[in-house]
Amino acid sequence: QMRSTRKVSVWPVGLVGGRRYERPLVENGKVVGWYTGWRADRPFAVDMAGFAVSLQVILAHPKAVFKRRGSQPGMQESDFLKQITTVEELEPKANNCTKVLVWHTRTEKVNLANEPKYHVDTVNIEV
């Protein structure tokens, strides 16, 4: 899926943000919001594992940087992506962001503290 990225593509990530998954919300092939357990008000409420950037975009924006320091916690992705794209330009992958193809995995128990008690997403995603 990443190989067909023209500019910046996005997809759901499983076992992240204290939820079973987080994902971009897509309508008519465009990202219109975020299904996330933490700060849905972020400009790009996407996990680091949930996007790809084409090399052409990186080369076209030589001053774009991913800050290890200087970003607020959880804002590194948004701070970086704001330099190179807009939400309207994002390319949804993984069947319009309805399939989890990427998971956060660790050698520790999964934290689902932000998982809603009842299913509140508009689609049913298997994780």
Mean pLDDT over 5-30 rounds to: 95
List the beta strands (DSSP E) in the chain: 8-10, 13-16, 19-27, 30-35, 51-53, 91-92
Domains parsed from the chain with CATH numbers: 1-126 (3.90.550.10)
Question: pLDDT confidence of 116, banded at 50, 70, 90?
Answer: confident
Catalytic residue among 22, 27, 77, 88: 77
Q: Are 127 and 14 in contact (CB under 8 A)?
A: yes
Active site residue 77: yes
What pLDDT, on the 0 to 100 scale, is given for residue 115?
87
Predicted confidence (pLDDT) per residue in 49-67, tens digit: 999 999 999 999 999 998 8
Asked if the model's pLDDT at residue 38 lies above 90, the reply is no
